[in-house]
Amino acid sequence: MSAPNKSYDPVEVEALKPEEIERMRDEALAAFAAADTLDALQEAKVAHTGGTSPLALANREIGALPPQAKAEAGKRVGMARGAVSKALAARQAELEAERDARVLVEEAVDVTLPHDRTPAGARHPLTTFMERVADVFVAMGYEVAEGPEVEAEWFNFDALNFTPDHPARQMQDTFFVQGPQGADAGGESGVVLRTHTSPVQARALLERREPPVYIVCPGRVYRTDELDATHTPVFHQIELLAVDEGLTMADLKGTLDHMVQALFGADMKTRLRPNYFPFTEPSAEMDMVCYVCRGESVGNPDRPCRTCGSEGWIELGGCGMVNPKVLTACGVDPQKYSGFAFGFGIERMLMFRHNVEDMRDMVEGDVRFTRPFGMEI
């Protein structure tokens, strides 16, 4: 075993000479100062403080020195490494501050600039309201049914017990797409734009055959009416049909009351007035208590109501017990089954529900009308 090298002089170890350590430190400081981006600084950091950097290698040399030389060399290297770490942290902070300041300028948003984004669209209040009405019945177990808007004259009229010479079949009332009309047609059926949602009654009965049938049918209908404050040639109806054993007018009345209470409030009620529809017998016009004055304008000149004309009631639409002739035409035994139906206009209902004075506002597509209804999708 050789004797310890008592005369070892650390100055003679090349990597640990003071001027060498200073050179390593100065090179590191110069590299950090020269780094003008955070990426460049990262490269300089690896080169001058990483595991294979000159100072790290010099640090490793210390372990091989004799004990009496370790302290001095360790101090020298430690001070150099401390100065390098400090310079690195300072430059890092400097470059980060520069970057943050630059990002603030480059990514600044001028909130005063006029925006050019297309506003989000929303469905028309007629559509959302029609769905809300249908939902009242879906919650009671009714199914939503649909039928074509271009409809066979037979479904729109004949199946519903309209006689061949019924005035509704005339060109003045109905848009004919094709073919014969009524009495002059020699029994042939033409094609019409459906004038009401009632043909879906016939379709539902023929498709299902065996009651019970409980359907609700919202949809678009067409009539040759002029566009004015209370009419439009294209409008929407919602139709209800229930066919089962033992249904009576009391079921119809109870269903109507439930609907107006669900849509307009718990204290709402309806009344029926005699009327005529070929496809219901007996038939009635259904009214509900005025949504706005709740009947308080009647006989009260101090509190006139524009919505109901101070009559206290608003007309909703038509209803009745399904005519046995319609049941027979659709293959349902009227001895065993009975049914009720009603249908009303969505535009008129939306008008008095929201105090809309002119129906034209609903159909002209002006967003100033639809916007207050919100952005329901």
Annotated binding site for Mg(2+): 281
Asked if 360 and 227 touch (Cβ cutoff 8 Å), the reply is: yes
Q: Is position 182 an interface residue for ligand FA5 (rule: CB under 6 A)?
A: no
Asked if 272 and 254 touch (Cβ cutoff 8 Å), the reply is: no
- Cβ 123 to ligand FA5 shortest distance, Å: 19
Q: Is position 271 an interface residue for ligand FA5 (rule: CB under 6 A)?
A: no
List the one residue out of 295, 281, 227 whose CA is nearest residue 252: 281
Question: CA 364 → CA 68, 82, 140, 361, 373, distances in Å?
Answer: 99, 78, 34, 6, 15
Q: Is position 223 an interface residue for ligand FA5 (rule: CB under 6 A)?
A: yes
Name which of 32 and 157 has its Cβ closer to ligand FA5.
157
**200: its two tokens:** 């879906």
Site size for ligand FA5 (CB under 6 A): 22
Q: Is position 339 an interface residue for ligand FA5 (rule: CB under 6 A)?
A: no
Question: What whole-number distance in Å separates Cα of residue 95 and Cα of residue 74?
Answer: 31
Pick the binder of ligand FA5 from 59, 181, 189, 237 (CB under 6 A): 237
Only one of the segments 14-22, 118-126, 234-242, 265-273 lies at the binding site for ligand FA5 (rule: CB under 6 A); that segment is 234-242
- Cβ 113 to ligand FA5 shortest distance, Å: 44
Name which of 28 and 351 has its Cβ closer to ligand FA5.
351
Only one residue has tokens 């650390």, namely 10
Name which of 31 and 359 has its Cβ closer to ligand FA5.
359
Q: Is position 189 an interface residue for ligand FA5 (rule: CB under 6 A)?
A: no
CA 241-275-168 angle, 5° bins: 80
Question: CA 174 → CA 36, 151, 189, distances in Å?
Answer: 81, 12, 14
DSSP code, position 317: E
Question: What whole-number distance in Å separates Cα of residue 128 and Cα of residue 362?
Answer: 13
Name which of 27 and 315 has its Cβ closer to ligand FA5.
315
List the one residue out of 22, 19, 8, 25 whose CA is nearest residue 62: 8
- Within 288-317, the residues that bind ligand FA5 by CB under 6 A are 317
Name which of 190 and 317 has its Cβ closer to ligand FA5.
317
Only one of the segments 31-39, 68-76, 141-149, 233-241 lies at the binding site for ligand FA5 (rule: CB under 6 A); that segment is 233-241
Q: Is position 343 an interface residue for ligand FA5 (rule: CB under 6 A)?
A: yes
Question: What whole-number distance in Å separates Cα of residue 129 and Cα of residue 320?
Answer: 24
Q: Is position 225 an interface residue for ligand FA5 (rule: CB under 6 A)?
A: yes
- Cβ 353 to ligand FA5 shortest distance, Å: 13
Q: Is position 370 an interface residue for ligand FA5 (rule: CB under 6 A)?
A: no
Pick the binder of ligand FA5 from 91, 196, 203, 253 (CB under 6 A): 196
Question: What whole-number distance in Å separates Cα of residue 174 and Cα of residue 157?
Answer: 11
Only one of the segments 22-30, 132-140, 306-314, 336-344 lies at the binding site for ligand FA5 (rule: CB under 6 A); that segment is 336-344
**108: its two tokens:** 């600044």
Pick the binder of ligand FA5 from 270, 280, 297, 338 (CB under 6 A): 280
- Known binding-site residue numbers: 281
Question: What whole-number distance in Å separates Cα of residue 27 and Cα of residue 243?
Answer: 96
**116: its two tokens:** 């050019």
Q: Is position 277 an interface residue for ligand FA5 (rule: CB under 6 A)?
A: yes
- Residues in CB range of 170: below 8 A, 6 or more apart: 181, 182
Q: Is position 161 an interface residue for ligand FA5 (rule: CB under 6 A)?
A: no
E strands, 234-312, in order: 234-244, 270-277, 280-289
Question: Which residues of the shown chain bind ligand FA5 in the complex (CB under 6 A)?
Answer: 196, 198, 223, 225, 231-232, 235, 237, 239, 277, 280, 317-320, 341-345, 347-348
